[in-house]
Amino acid sequence: MKKTLALILALTLVFALAAPAAFADGAIKIGGTGPLTGGAAIYGMAVKNAAEIAVEEINAKGGIQFELRFEDDTHDAEKAVNAYNTLKDWGMQISTGSVTSKPCEATSAETYADRIFALTPSASSVATVTGKDNQFQMCFTDPNQGSASAQYIADKKLATKVAVIWKNDDVYSKGIYETFMAAAPGLGLEVVSDTTFNDGNATDFSVQIADAQGKGAELVFLPMYYDAASLILTQASAAGYAPIWFGVDGMDGILSLEGFDTSLAEGVYLLTPFNADSEDEATKAFVAKYQEKFGEIPNQFAADAYDVIYAYAQACEAAGVTADMSAEEICDAMIKQFTTMTFNGLTGEGMTWAADGTVTKSPKGMIIENGAYVGID
């Protein structure tokens, strides 16, 4: 009996020492939802993985402590609300929102009603934050990406005749498209081809490609996620069409897409706030740790998630937040902090947030060369 008790005590000690830092006593509970399975899992797993790294690093310092939990929403709004309720029952005190825009629009309504502060790393839809004083974004909003892309194409003199292919049933794609189209004429960009698609016809892009090619588009703007973009690049190559391709942050991850010939992405431009090849020490350390732990180079979604956790740490420390505070008390403290503080992270220096939850930071131009993202700014 004594030997059994001693063994139990010894095993208890071993497990206690081996327990991850993310489950420290007196920890503030951070929850989030994202696609951990399904077609958009590249985004959800990147966010989850990077958030875990940040929590481990912060907890290891011995000051503020976080406990992190992610739930799979498969990029579905209804499942995201169910996942949110699971996190709420768990005792979530602050949130990383949802990874993709449509699910985050649904969960932001819940966090707003429940007075749980949310800072999403990557849900860029304006509707995510509109009319909700406790919903903030680490990523650019869709309108910012559209106008910034038009400005970048014009400033770099990449082309004057442009085609746009966009997804009409996706709030992310539609939001970027609308502001790109509004900005293009004033910047000397002629949109010679404007074609669209939706979930029902997202496999055959021959009509869109032929229209762009036939109208002499020198550059094709793709405000969409990488899955559809990969098919467009593949089918355009087969059709002998080789314009300049220009994408936004949703295309970050195309090089990791299983079965895609990455040589077809050579020369593709992206506008994103993160450059994994950056020589600054913080980025190099993060990339090295991410590669060591997960066997791949982190994308922009990962970097934004890492910044979310560190921004929370800065805000919680400044506000004196403790684990015994209610979610509503913490929410009030976070609103005050995020509307007044300045934050330096992997995805931007001197970041600030407006009262409407949108972030101010500078995008970076990237180009895919030799199967890797290369910063050009």
Average pLDDT by stretches of 10, the chain with 377 residues? 39 36 71 95 95 98 97 97 98 97 96 98 91 94 84 95 96 92 97 96 96 98 93 97 93 84 94 82 96 92 97 98 97 98 94 94 84 80
Q: 32 with 51: CB under 8 angstroms?
A: yes
**215 C-beta neighbours (distance < 10 Å), count:** 14
Task: Give the angle subtended at the CA of 307 by the CAs of 339 and 314, to the nearest 5°.
Answer: 55
Q: Is there a contact between 96 and 111 (Cβ–Cβ < 8 Å)?
A: no
pLDDT at 8: 39
Q: How far apart are CA 30 and CA 279, in angstroms?
A: 30
pLDDT of amino acid 218:
98
Read off the pTM.
0.77
| Beta-sheet strands, E only, within the chain | 28-34, 66-72, 94-98, 117-120, 135-137, 161-167, 190-197, 219-222, 244-247, 269-272, 343-345, 348-353, 359-360, 364-369, 372-375
- What residue ranges of the chain are covered by domains with CATH 3.40.50.2300? 6-140+281-361, 143-272
312 with 303: CB under 8 angstroms? no
Residue 141 DSSP label: P
Helix axes 77-90, 101-114, angle to 10 degrees: 40
Q: Which of 233, 213, 206, 218 is nearest to 162 (CA)?
A: 218
Distances (CA, A) of 60 to 2, 23, 56, 249, 289: 35, 11, 6, 31, 15
Q: For residue 144, what are the contacts with CB-CB under 8 A and spacing of at least 6?
A: 179, 358
Question: How high is the pLDDT of residue 306?
Answer: 98
Residues 6+ apart with CB under 8 A from 361: 140, 273, 347, 348, 349, 350, 351
Q: Are 21 and 61 in contact (CB under 8 A)?
A: no
Architecture of the domain spanning 143-272 = 3-Layer(aba) Sandwich (3.40)
Question: DSSP assignment of 193-246, as one string?
Answer: EEEEE-GGG-S--HHHHHHHHHTT-SEEEE-S-HHHHHHHHHHHHHTT---EEE
Residue 251's nearest CA partner among 278, 279, 232 is: 232
Beta bridge partners, 190, equal 161
| CATH of the domain spanning 6-140+281-361 | 3.40.50.2300
